[in-house]
Structure 1
Amino acid sequence: MTAPLDPRLARLIRQDVQSMHAYAVQDASGLLKMDAMENPYRLPEALQAQLGARLGAVELNRYPGSRLEDLRQALARHAQMPEGFGLMLGNGSDELISLLAMACDRPGATILAPVPGFVMYAMSAQLQGLDFVGVPLTADFELDEAAMLAAIEEHQPAIVFLAYPNNPTANLWDDAVIERIVAAAPGLVVMDEAYQPFASRSYIDRVARHGHVLLMRTLSKFGLAGVRLGYMMAPAALIAEIDKVRPPYNISVLNAECALFALEHAEVFDAQAADLRTQRDALLPALRALGLQVWRSDANMVLVRVPGGEGAAQAVFDGMKARGVLVKNVSRMHPLLANCLRLTVGSADDNAQMLRALQQSL
């Protein structure tokens, strides 16, 4: 157990920070890791050797330079970025979320997002000293249009985050409702497409219609979670302003070269994503056959509700962990998630092992 902080030092740390909990990463040692929506597939051996040679030739003694512009252009082509847009790189989407909060930190500014949702929206607001307004989803995890529009009218948020699809619920929301929210928003709207490789549709074909909408993606779900690289697209003048708060050299030369290499071999990662979509489609009915409530998914995760009273999700989580499988217990994240677990979609073998552990733990 960590010793208490010396009171002389504690007085230097913001009280709200001392009251916070750090973002928790579960210890997965010796377990099948099905808690973090990671791609289960590694690079083929031939590509591992090619990437190793590429990384070995990188000038580690130099700060990142023009290679980052090569990466921006490659990502713009990969994402089919609209004409007149700019692209900003982040050390994962988490950094981009924080930089947006920093750039919009004016007196009285508010960040708004549906809840339950990605925890970093609220955390970035708190760390930047901004108000956060969470608008509950409906009981079936759809956008509550009336509540969202009322909250926008009341709070006039500087930023509205819309995850597309949402985490941890894995669903895409109604496009017509999203368009009315976008039209009502007085500030920025960020469409967070972290799970785009697994989704049935994207906002990329609509983003150019709105000068205040930014589209954010990550290579984590593309298959490069360890590389930590996110990117954000918006009209070039808007990106230029937000980019002013980005730390210099925030993307390492190794991360950039890994990302460029992956984009050159995008067909390998596209095939992996296609396989995971197939595995997801097989996993959903298998979970329902166990008597669980299962929501539709447009991501590489599935949200399920286990039967039973309070504590049922924790009991099943503990049972699965004892059987060597680690999932995510989200039942305490929000009242709407009572007795819910979030499961990563893995390979066929991974999913079979997860299903066995789940069945034996119910």
Structure 2
Amino acid sequence: MTATLPPQLARLIRQDVQGMHAYAVQPSAGLVKLDAMENPHRLPANLQQALGARLGAVALNRYPGERVDTLRAALKAYAQVPDGYDLMLGNGSDELISLLAMACDVPGASILAPLPGFVMYGMSAQLQGLKFVGVDLTPDFELDESAMLEAIATHQPSIIYLAYPNNPTANLWDDGVIERIVEAAPGLVVMDEAYQPFASRSYLDRLTRHPHVLLMRTLSKFGLAGVRLGYMVGPAALIAQVDKVRPPYNVSVLNCEAALFALEHADVFHQQAAELRRERALLLDRLDAMPGVRAWRSDANMILVRVPEAARSFEGMKARGVLVKNVSRMHPLLANCLRLTVGTTDENAQMLAALQASL
């Protein structure tokens, strides 16, 4: 239940904010948690001990300093950032999305993105007081090229978000269509590669073709969802301007050191991603053979499925100890759809059994 603000306090809060719904995190205690696209693998015991000792030696009494620059340099090397390009850090991709809206808040500015998509694109626009333009995907969750180009011509958006692959549909869109959208864009285009560890291709090799394109990634899907660290790559002069609105100490010393440690042991996380890609292929085979279920191909660590009755299946799976995401009310195109996170072999077996029993 949401408490009601007394009138003398309610007048202080924006009316549109009072009418919003907060980002909801589902309670998951005691359940197999397959609702949030997290890496299900923890660090091996020896690395847990090594990381614990390293974090214990961090100077918590000091603000983050030069060590953050060390992390930026390590990420630039890891991501193979091109010459003339720079990188800025965020407290997860969510903060970077908010900072972009803040930096681009000029009169008449708007933000455009395909729908269904990541909810923070629209939320960041609303919170910054910018117009948000959503353009529906096709029924098979592909970009509607003509609708996108028409919306771009009509609204002249300052920012266009293209998730690559998309959330919650998990697919990579046609590269030719993407290029035509990029070429038509009057402002910035942000390629959001949050799920890059699981994708079959990246936009990185095309980044330098267009000076108005930014590439955004996160370490959350790499395996550090709890660390909250995102980064954005773009032309150095452009990154320098957006970076001016970033809070000075937005990445903590603990987050910074944990991320550096993870990059030093990137092979462990690459092995985990490879295992999840194998599990994804097995899941898709099993889902394709399940009567009454349609599963879409995935380039992420999630699979979108359509079932006869999403609410019944969601509650049935939860009653059997498995938590997934019911996305059926997010958008009309997602009617009766559930989003399943790819887990471990055992977790996936429990998920499949719970889904089968709930149909």
Same fold (TM over 0.5): yes
**CA root-mean-square deviation:** 0.5
Q: TM-score, normalised by structure 2?
A: 0.99
For residues 8 and 129 of structure 1, the distance between their equivalents in structure 2, rounded to whole angstroms, comes to: 23
Q: Structure 1 vs Structure 2: percent identity of aligned residues?
A: 77
**1:55 paired residue number:** 55
User: Could you say what secondary structure the match of 2:226 adopts?
Assistant: helix
Mapping of residues 194-209 of structure 1, within 5 Å: 194-209=194-209
Structure 1 gap ranges (5+): none
Deviations 1:133-165 (A, max 9, x none): 000000000000000000000000000000000
| Residues in 2 aligned to 1:2 and 1:137: alpha-carbon distance in whole angstroms | 34
Quick one: which of 316, 332, 342 aligns to 1:319?
Answer: 316
Q: Which residue of 2 aligns with 1:305?
A: 306
Alignment of 1:325-344 (within 5 A): 325-344=322-341
Q: In the alignment, which residue of structure 2 is the partner of 1:225? A: 225
Alignment of 1:110-189 (within 5 A): 110-189=110-189
Tell me the CA shift for residue 18 of structure 1.
0.4
Alignment match, 1:5 = 5
Task: Write the distance in 2 (CA, Å) between the matches of 1:3 and 1:126.
Answer: 23
- Tell me the distance in 1 between the aligned counterparts of 2:107 and 2:312: 45
Residue of structure 1 equivalent to 2:358: 361
In structure 2, what is the Cα distance between the partners aligned to 1:296 and 1:2? 39
Q: Deviations along 1:24-47, whole A, 9 cap, x unmatched?
A: 000001100000000000000000
- Partners of 1:103 and 1:199 in 2: CA distance: 30
**Deviations 1:163-210 (Å, cap 9, x if unpaired)?**
000000000000010000000000000000000000000000000111
1:282 counterpart residue number:
282
Alignment match, 1:19:
19
**How far apart are residue 2 of structure 1 and its match?**
3.8
CA–CA distance in 2 between the matches of 1:28 and 1:70?
Answer: 36
Q: Deviations over 1:290-335 (max 9, x none)?
A: 121110000000000002xxxx100100000000000000000000
Instruction: Give the Cα–Cα distance (whole angstroms) in 2 for the partners of residues 198 and 136 of structure 1.
Output: 25
The alpha-carbon deviation at position 252 of structure 1 amounts to: 0.0
Q: How much does 1:3 deviate?
A: 2.8
CA distance in 1, matches of 2:164, 2:356: 30
Per the TM alignment, residue 96 of structure 1 is displaced from its structure 2 partner at its CA by: 0.0
In the other structure, the counterpart of 1:272 is: 272
Q: Name the residue aligned to 1:78.
A: 78
Question: Residue in 2 aligned with 1:349?
Answer: 346
1:112 and 1:54 map into 2 onto residues whose CA distance is 42
| Post-superposition CA distance 1:55-105 (Å, at most 9, x none) | 011000000000000000100111111111010000000000000000000
SS in 1 for 2:225: helix
Letter in 2 for 1:294: A
Give a deviation string over 1:104-138, Cα, whole Å, max 9, x none.
00111100000000000000000000000000000
Alignment partner, residue 192 of structure 2: 192
Query: What is the distance in 1 between the residues matched to 2:241 and 2:334?
Result: 37
| Misfit runs of 4+, over 4 Å | none
d(CA) in 2 for partners of 1:81, 1:248: 23
Is 1:41 equivalent to 2:38 in the alignment? no
Q: Match of 1:100, as an amino acid?
A: L
- Counterpart of 1:360 in structure 2: which amino acid? A
Hey, what's the Cα distance between the residues in 2 that align with 1:300 and 1:151?
30
Indicate the SS of the match to 1:270.
helix
Q: Deviations over 1:199-236 (max 9, x none)?
A: 00000000011100000000000000000000000000
- Report the secondary structure of 1:342's partner residue: strand
Whole-angstrom distance in 1 between the partners of 2:108 and 2:197: 36
> How far is the alpha carbon of 1:288 from its aligned partner?
1.5
- Summarize deviations over 1:227-261 as a string: whole Å, max 9, x none: 00000000000000000000110000000000000
Structure 2: runs of 5+ lacking an equivalent: none
CA distance in structure 1 between the partners assigned to 2:350 and 2:190 by the alignment: 37
Q: CA deviation at 1:4?
A: 1.1
Name the aligned partner's letter for residue 12 of structure 2: L
Corresponding position of 2:90: 90
